[in-house]
Structure 1
Amino acid sequence: MKAINKVTQDNTEQWLYYSDEMDYSYDIKVSLPSSPPPVDGYPVIYILDGNSYFQFAQGIVSLQSRNAPKTLVNEAIIVGIGHQGEGKDASKRRFYDFTAPANKYVYPDRLKGFDVGVHGGAQKFLDFIELELKPKIERRYSINKGKQALFGHSLSGLFTLWTLFTKPKAFQTYLALSPSIWWNDHEILTYMDGFLRQSEAYGKKNLYIAVGECEGFMVDDAKQVFSRLSADQQKYVECEFYCAPEENHASVVPTVMSRAIRFANKK
């Protein structure tokens, strides 16, 4: 049998990034456009859960940017932020990185018997992105700092909302698919209320929130957030909502990511 060569992706870089803030090494993947950067730099989309979703985003942008006038998707730098390993260890790390610190946690019945590990590390994880990773990306590549988006699904979708509500100037556009609004007895709604009380100081932000039709209570949760934000969106948030027909929690990302990236491209 002939030796099998490992396939590498063109215009893609990958490295392990050790974070002093998190005392943890993240799997970072960066997809670069093939053409020279525009004068003001490339837009950039940061993809959380990068091990799962980086290739989806990379493929969408690479393919559709070839015919941008029709697809409305322009070239962009894609940055995937992934966890090492798989299974329980990676799952526990997600619960830590993507959930906010709290004095008390309330768990739904469906999590009983499930070891979620330590949680409440969202502020430190955001500090890692803002103080460590983004400066490195901005030094290494030609970035348009005024066109940066954050994408997350499920728990990382929750973190995407939390970032919008607690540090809205970190990004201009937020893409939250099937966000885990249920976490800790819907505490994200309290953060949303705080954001709306102060939003005039932040300038208008852009939020795309989507969910699969078959996701049960998560559909109602997402609609609640959209309804509250869209009531004031002329002042605070340009918000778009999409419920994907016949899709569930596992299938919604490949179905909806193209829509989400088009939304980011328009901003």
Structure 2
Amino acid sequence: MALIVAPPAAAQEAAAPLRVVSQGPGTLYRADPTVQFVVHSEKAGRDYLVQVTPPAFGPWLPGQKAAVAYVLDGGYGIMGPTARLLGGSNAMLPAYVVTVAYPAGQPSSRERDMLFATAVRPDGSKALGGGAEAFMGFIVDELRPWVEAKYPVDRAKSVLMGHSQSGIFTANVLARRPDAFASYLIASPSVWAQPDIAERLARVSLQGPPRRVFVAYGEDEAPHMVSGGRQVARALARNKAAVVSRSEVFAGADHISFYPELAARGLGYLLPRKRPINYPNPTPVPAETLRRYEGVYVLSDGRRLPIALKGGKLATTLAFPVELDALPRPGRFFVNGVDVQFTFEGPPDGPAQLLRIDYLGEVAVARRAP
């Protein structure tokens, strides 16, 4: 099926007035592609640090959109680059990762943002919540539309991910506004802060398709955390009309030690590839045959894709220069390590007239330029 270029209705919504205070490059490593923004939320009445890490390759076809994961607690500084790396493997779909944290030099309001009401911790002290309604408004009504207007992301492949107090917040977004995201990753939820969350999750109802949910916690966490994770997992497992869920207990892990595995296990479950990347052996093709495929091919959005014979192989440039290796079927080529295939079509003894590009299971057609 050919790729439909028209954007989904959700992408046509006007972005909420999220004001960018500052913008700069990422700082994790020398070639870090992350862009960071300080944005001001009118709903929450404060600034947030938003970091956006793009996928390593794609989306590239006309009108194509990528998966997107919104990760709270700044992804602890590792989720953006980890997901970028795994998106180039069979672990998960390539995805934009949007992390949310607090700007340097400004106080954190994490506890207030993540909890809907003041709660009593297991040690008897108070956790001063009450700002989660406003923070949910920032995430759902300000940040999400801003990201969708700025980047080619698909709400139908969106994830909200939170851990600990942000895990109970993520569970609450699912319970209160389940249509906000396509899927949810709830890690070590602080159920002690809201004991009725399991009941709320068991009552979630939807008009559309069920939401995918991944619940995780560590085997060696404090007993009240293990109990909370188990309650959430069981409640979701019962609500089969609204949720398709998977839960995982990480053996030998404490409250934080399993977090690095959540990209591969959690995001991999919520953002699975349609098909695995294959690594076939190239098929030798005579140079005179390859010359039939040389030329410039024009995509539906007007981009021109030159295909040239270099060093005995066809080569072109997508997001970066690539070489095309031949498959056994005539006219079909692949790029090593990337889920993309090229199929040239035309007369058996003349130049190819049409090029089909299949990337991540979506297909676009390019025609030979006159």
TM range (shorter): 0.7 to 0.9
**Cα-to-partner distance string for 1:117-156 (whole Å, 9 max, x where unaligned):** 4x21111111111221111111111111211100100000
- 2:188 is matched with which residue? 178
The Cα shift of 1:241 comes to: 0.5
CA distance in 2, matches of 1:67, 1:155: 30
Aligned to 1:210, the other structure's residue is in SS state: strand
Alignment of structure 1 residues 72-91 onto 2, 5 Å: 73-85=92-104, 89-90=107-108
Could you tell me which runs of 5 or more consecutive residues in structure 1 were left unpaired when the two chains were aligned: 1-5
Q: Hey, which of these two has a bigger chunk of strand by percent? A: 2
CA distance in 2, matches of 1:86, 1:181: 30
1:66 is aligned to 2:72? no
Aligned to 2:57, the other structure's residue is in SS state: coil
Alignment of structure 1 residues 130-145 onto 2, 5 Å: 130-145=140-155
CA distance in 2, matches of 1:21, 1:200: 26
Aligned to 1:17, the other structure's residue is in SS state: strand
Q: Is this contact kept in 2: 1:211–1:222, CA < 8 A?
A: yes
**Cα-to-partner distance string for 1:134-186 (whole Å, 9 max, x where unaligned):** 111111111112111001000000000000000000001100110101114x1
- 2:234 is matched with which residue? 227
Aligned to 1:207, the other structure's residue is in SS state: strand
Alignment of structure 1 residues 96-115 onto 2, 5 Å: 96-101=112-117, 105-112=118-125
The Cα shift of 1:212 comes to: 0.3
Could you tell me which runs of 5 or more consecutive residues in structure 2 were left unpaired when the two chains were aligned: 1-26, 274-370
1:192 is aligned to 2:201? yes
Give TM-score scaled by structure 2 length.
0.61
Between 1 and 2, higher relative CO (CA 8 Å, sep ≥ 6) is seen in 1
State the Cα RMSD in Å: 2.2
1:257 is aligned to 2:266? no
CA distance in 1, matches of 2:144, 2:212: 20
The Cα shift of 1:60 comes to: 2.2
Cα separation, partners in 2 of 1:219 and 1:109, compared to 1, 3 Å: closer
The Cα shift of 1:264 comes to: 1.6
1:148 is aligned to 2:158? yes
CA distance in 2, matches of 1:25, 1:146: 28
Q: Is this contact kept in 1: 2:132–2:169, CA < 8 A?
A: yes
Q: Is this contact kept in 1: 2:199–2:235, CA < 8 A?
A: no
Aligned residues: 243
Cα separation, partners in 2 of 1:246 and 1:34, compared to 1, 3 Å: closer
Q: Is this contact kept in 2: 1:46–1:149, CA < 8 A?
A: yes
CA distance in 2, matches of 1:19, 1:241: 33
1:41 is aligned to 2:47? no
1:218 is aligned to 2:206? no
Q: Is this contact kept in 1: 2:35–2:53, CA < 8 A?
A: yes
CA distance in 1, matches of 2:124, 2:151: 42
**Cα-to-partner distance string for 1:61-100 (whole Å, 9 max, x where unaligned):** 22222233xx3x121100001123489x42xx11111111
CA distance in 2, matches of 1:106, 1:252: 26
Quick check: which has more Rg, 1 or 2? 2
Aligned to 2:198, the other structure's residue is in SS state: helix
- 1:95 is matched with which residue? 111
CA distance in 1, matches of 2:261, 2:89: 20
Give TM-score scaled by structure 1 length.
0.83
